[in-house]
């Protein structure tokens, strides 16, 4: 199948069967009633948070205990540079290889400050067990946006690919693109409110799943540093190793970097944003392995665990 170049200006993924399948899965998740209800409830809580109201999140210690029990029952977790684990409100900025990543990080950071996940709504709520846990735990600021795969399908339809027109129309009809000014302002207000009350924020500056262990998907998203600059909090880079391909008792490594401090700015200028992005990119690259080889060992429940954390 003919495809876009991944190095094209819009940086869309190649239009392969896998890309189209992923776009279709995203559309199905976007029109799933359970996903939509959970997303709306989280958006309502984010709006309440922005207004300074108290949300009904789970106890931080209980949330960490539940996650640690689940994650460590399935995997061998290794924490490196524990002295860098923050005990104050920060932006935790991690590379992203699998949808286990936010749950893995939350299982190892302290219960307080309470970290909110800023991430794509459909990947957080696309499975029943995630919805069950997050309905109990809360602590999510959901992002509604088109995936790169969906954008590739829409672009392909515009370029005349007749077999993509129906799917492209369905995506545009059923999936919010996240581009509205109000949605961006709502997220910004919620983030500022949580920092003001002493909470922290976890996000994934690549904006999508990485393609390969040890490599970042560039460029990093600007929002990863803008929230920290506006709030005057440090950014702690977090490297995740081993989460791209999951199986029972595999070793998953979390490496915490030293906190990055940048001058606070209520209205960050482009050069300030770029300096912070460059600093974060360098710090993450230094934490990631130069070369990674999958362990040569039995890969029990590989298919089941990769589906579980899809």
Look up the domain containing 236 and give its range. Answer: 59-145+179-308
| Phi-psi sector, 160: left (phi>0), alpha (psi -120 to 50), beta | left
Please report the pLDDT score of residue 179 as a whole number: 75
CA-to-CA dists, residue 73 to 176, 247, 303, angstroms: 36, 12, 17
* Residues of the chain with confidence (pLDDT) below 50: 1-9
Whether residue 41 lies inside any domain: the answer is: no
Whether residue 185 lies inside any domain: the answer is: yes
Please report the pLDDT score of residue 7 as a whole number: 37
Whether the predicted model's global pTM rises above the 0.85 cut? yes
Please report the pLDDT score of residue 10 as a whole number: 52
| Phi-psi sector, 34: left (phi>0), alpha (psi -120 to 50), beta | alpha
Whether residue 153 lies inside any domain: the answer is: no
Residues found in the chain: 310
Nearest Cα neighbor of 157 from 177, 176, 145, 171 is 171
| Phi-psi sector, 241: left (phi>0), alpha (psi -120 to 50), beta | beta
Whether residue 47 lies inside any domain: the answer is: no
Looking up residue 99, the CATH number of its domain turns out to be 3.40.1130
Whether residue 289 lies inside any domain: the answer is: yes
Q: What count of other Cβ atoms lies within 10 Å of the Cβ of residue 203?
A: 26
Please report the pLDDT score of residue 13 as a whole number: 86
Whether residue 17 lies inside any domain: the answer is: no
How confident is the model over 5-51, as pLDDT tens digits? 433 445 788 999 999 999 999 999 999 999 999 999 999 999 998 88
Match 């915490």 to its residue by tokens.
256
Whether residue 151 lies inside any domain: the answer is: no
Residue 192, φ and ψ in degrees, nearest 5: -60, -40
Count of structural domains within the chain: 1
Whether residue 22 lies inside any domain: the answer is: no
The strand ranges marked E within 55-174 are 76-80, 91-94, 115-120, 140-143
Please report the pLDDT score of residue 45 as a whole number: 92
Q: DSSP letters along 58-97, please?
A: PPHHHHHHHHHHHHHHHSEEEEE-GGGS-SS--EEEE--S
Please report the pLDDT score of residue 178 as a whole number: 78
Please report the pLDDT score of residue 107 as a whole number: 97
Please report the pLDDT score of residue 5 as a whole number: 44
Please report the pLDDT score of residue 12 as a whole number: 85
């Amino acid at each position: 199948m003919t495809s876009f170049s991944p190095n094209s200006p819009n940086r869309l993924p190649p239009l392969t069967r896998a890309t189209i399948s992923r776009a279709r899965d995203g559309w199905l998740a976007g029109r799933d009633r359970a996903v939509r209800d959970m997303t709306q409830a989280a958006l309502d809580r984010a709006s309440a948070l922005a207004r300074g109201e108290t949300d009904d999140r789970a106890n931080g210690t209980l949330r960490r205990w539940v996650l640690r029990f689940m994650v460590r029952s399935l995997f061998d977790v290794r924490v490196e540079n524990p002295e860098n684990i923050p005990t104050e409100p920060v932006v935790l900025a991690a590379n992203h290889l699998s949808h286990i990543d936010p749950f893995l990080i939350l299982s190892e950071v302290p219960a307080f400050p309470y970290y909110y996940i800023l991430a794509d709504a459909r990947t957080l709520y696309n499975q029943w067990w995630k919805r069950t846990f997050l309905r109990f735990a809360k602590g999510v600021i959901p992002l509604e946006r088109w995936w790169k795969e969906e954008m590739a399908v829409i672009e392909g339809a515009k370029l005349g690919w007749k077999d993509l027109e129906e799917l492209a129309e369905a995506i545009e009809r059923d999936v919010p693109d996240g581009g509205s000014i109000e949605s961006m302002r709502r997220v910004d207000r919620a983030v500022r409110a949580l920092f003001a009350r002493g909470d922290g924020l976890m996000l994934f500056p690549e904006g999508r799943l990485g393609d390969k262990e040890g490599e970042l998907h560039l460029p990093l998203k600007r929002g990863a540093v803008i929230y920290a600059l506006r709030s005057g909090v440090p950014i702690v880079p977090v490297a995740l190793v081993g989460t791209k391909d999951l199986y029972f008792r595999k070793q998953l490594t979390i490496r915490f970097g030293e906190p990055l401090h940048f001058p606070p700015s209520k209205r960050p200028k482009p050069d300030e944003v770029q300096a912070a992005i460059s600093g974060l990119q360098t710090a993450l690259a230094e934490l990631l392995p130069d070369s990674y080889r999958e362990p040569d060992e039995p890969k029990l429940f590989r298919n089941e665990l990769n589906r579980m954390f899809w």
